[in-house]
Amino acid sequence: MTAAGSDIVGLSGVEKQFGAVRALDGVDLAVGHGERVGLVGHNGAGKSTLMQVLAGAVAADAGRITVMGEVLSGYSPARARQHGIRCVFQELSVCPKLTVAENVRSFHPALRGFGGEKKAARLIGEMLDRVFPGHGISPGDPLRDLAIGQRQMVEVARAFTTVGEPLHLVILDEPTSSLDAQASAQLLAHMSRAAGEGIGIILISHVLAEVLGHVDRIVVMRDGRIATAGPAGEFDRQKLVRAMGSEEMPQSRSSAARARGGEVCVRARPRRDAKELVAHQGEVIGLAGLAGHGQTQLLRQVLQASSRGGETFRARPAAFVAGDRQNDGVFPRWSILENMTIRSLQNLKQGALVSPAREKAMADSWKERMGIRTPDMEHNILSLSGGNQQKVLFARALASEAPIILMDDPMRGVDIGTRQDVYSLIRSEAQAGRCFLWYTTETDELLHCDHVYVFHAGAIVAELPGADVSEEKIIQLSFQEPA
């Protein structure tokens, strides 16, 4: 019965269909003890679905699952847990109303009795110290008081905790998406430590640098199948991107050291005593720095002021593109079309009512411009893959004719193909005179900006022209204290 003796888990011929969508089209995958596997691919390639099958959350339509040599039927999350398989998904699985320790306690049935609270607190405290030294989280903190990055840290650390039961495989689905550079590096380092202890790791990430540098084997998925796989050393960035199915365009830096001119359209000062942000018409302004250091607050400040017309700057309409699309962007009951037009209804009126014809025209034209993949714009928005949903949010903002576009780290977890499409769109819109304020946690994207402001502790600590941007410099400036 034991197939590949040292494999923790093996999937063979796994298929899964959701309605008309073929999410998995015959996938074989095996992970051995102490092996780190990187799983990459477009949004919609099937990565998350594959992991959900692995973790027992979704039942495959066909195919065989073997765990620790045992062919399983009737798999479930509970059985996966029993076999030592843990999962950290993109949407957090922690209860915000409970404390950190309580979340750990409810995760381990063995801690149910009295005294379990203290054990849970100690357990998570130790693991947090191991994985994320210097984390600053107390086990008694209610989760809703923690920033999203800290919640992610708790969830990741929790996955590695054990109370006697076996831990063989940990699946991490975009674990660094809410973490800043420091925490991400700590997590990647812990991954190799864990692998050294015999724990298998599956890492799904869109940050190719993470995958290339920190796994033993890479598996590339495309359209529900494995496109290619092999030892990590055999791959480089370009090869990965090509295998995923899109051509990565060479990063074109914006024209070197362009003199900043034109009409000022945004002036904002995040903290009274610190530097001011100035944005001109037609500029793409980048907001950089460690995650959660005031960038999103500034965007919100500008958004609020623009609808009120404060003295901070001249009143001009601004449109917002959310990064956390579930909470800040998507209207889940509505169609793609309705999601797109909500910001522009004033312009779509004919008389007193919104004109369905004009709505459809707008939707069709933006569907083409953004390359949104869907057979029908009247379908529910959740029928789209994550990347396409993000495109709709962009279209919503861009279609609104607002001269200022605010972007709150909107490329998080979005595939390369979508990104390239959006980058070129931003460039052309900027050339047409629109102003972009772009908060991003990936230094690569800052290369597309004309001017970059670096944030630290809620204030702007530095600014530099886009042409001067480099990873080192940004990281250096990110740790600079405000004057």
Partner 1 sequence: MIEALRARPWTWSFVGAAGAFAATVAVLHGHGAAGIATAALALAVFMILAGVGQMFVITLGPGNIDLSLAANIGLAGAVSMTVMNGNDAGIGPGLAAAVGCGIVIGAANYLLIWLLRIPPIIATLSSSFIIQSVDIAYGRGLQIKPPTAFADFTSLQMAGVPLLAILTVLFTAGAAILLRRTIYGRSVLATGQNARAARFAGVAVGRIRAITYMVCGALGGLDGAFLAGYFRGANVDIGNEYLLASIAVVVVGGTSVAGGEANLPGIWGASLFMVLLLTMLNTFGAGAGMRLLLTGLIIVAVIALAGGRKPAR
Partner 2 sequence: MTVSARHLRGFLPALSLALVLAAIAWLNPRAISYFGFNLMLSLALPIALATVAQMFVIAGGELDLSIGSFISFCGCVVATWLDQAPLTGVAILLAGILVYAGVGALIHLRNLPSIVVTLGMSFVWQGLAILVLPQPGGTAPDWLQSLMSLKPPFVPLPVVGAVLLALVCHLLLMRTGYGAVLRGSGGNATAVARAGWSLLKVKMTLFALAGLFGVLSSLALIGITTSADPNIGSNYSLLSIAGVILGGGEFVGGIVSPAGAVIGALTLTLAASPLLTFMHIPPDWQIGANGALLILVLAARARFSRPEAA
Within 10 angstroms of residue 89's Cβ, the number of other Cβ atoms is: 18
d(CA 215, CA 25): 25
| Chain residues 50-89 in contact with partner 2, contact rule CB under 8 A | 57, 77-78, 81, 87, 89
Q: Does residue 343 belong to the site contacting partner 1 (CB under 8 A)? A: yes
- Residue 382 is classified by DSSP as G
Site string for partner 1, 73-112 (x = CB under 8 A): ------------------x---------------------
Query: Which of 329, 386, 410, 413 is close enough to bind partner 1 by CB under 8 A?
Result: 329
| Chain residues 387-406 in contact with partner 1, contact rule CB under 8 A | 396, 400
Query: Which of 132, 160, 235, 320 is close enough to bind partner 1 by CB under 8 A?
Result: 320
Within 10 angstroms of residue 273's Cβ, the number of other Cβ atoms is: 8
d(CA 208, CA 249): 15
Q: Which is nearer to partner 1, 411 or 469 (CB)?
A: 411
**Token pair of 302 as six digits:** 């500008």
**Token pair of 222 as six digits:** 């495309």
- Report how many residues bind partner 2 under the rule CB under 8 A: 27
Of the candidates 70, 19, 23, the residue with the CA atom closest to the CA atom of residue 44:
23
**Least distance from C-beta 282 to partner 1, angstroms?**
22
Whether residue 287 contacts residue 294, with contact meaning beta carbons closer than 8 Å, is answered with: no
Q: Using CB distances below 5 to 8 A depending on partner kind, what does residue 77 bind out of partner 1, partner 2, none?
A: partner 2
Q: Using CB distances below 5 to 8 A depending on partner kind, what does residue 354 bind out of partner 2, partner 1, none?
A: partner 1
Half-sphere exposure of 103 (CA within 13 A, CB side): 27
**Phi, then psi, of 342 in degrees rounded to 5:** -60, -30
**Least distance from C-beta 327 to partner 1, angstroms?**
6
Torsion of CA 464, 316, 261, 284, to 10 degrees: 40
User: Mind giving me the DSSP string for 262-290?
Assistant: S-EEEEE-SSTTS--EEEETT-EEEEEES
Query: Which of 25, 117, 180, 216 is close enough to bind partner 2 by CB under 8 A?
Result: 117
Whether residue 371 contacts residue 390, with contact meaning beta carbons closer than 8 Å, is answered with: no
Q: Does residue 328 belong to the site contacting partner 1 (CB under 8 A)? A: yes
Q: Does residue 332 belong to the site contacting partner 1 (CB under 8 A)? A: yes
Q: Does residue 352 belong to the site contacting partner 1 (CB under 8 A)? A: yes
Q: How far apart are the first and last CA of the chain?
A: 67
Residues that bind partner 2 (CB under 8 A): 57, 77-78, 81, 87, 89, 91-98, 102-103, 105-107, 109, 111-114, 116-117, 145
Residues that bind partner 1 (CB under 8 A): 91, 303, 307, 317, 319-320, 322, 327-334, 338, 342-343, 345-346, 349, 352-354, 356, 382, 396, 400
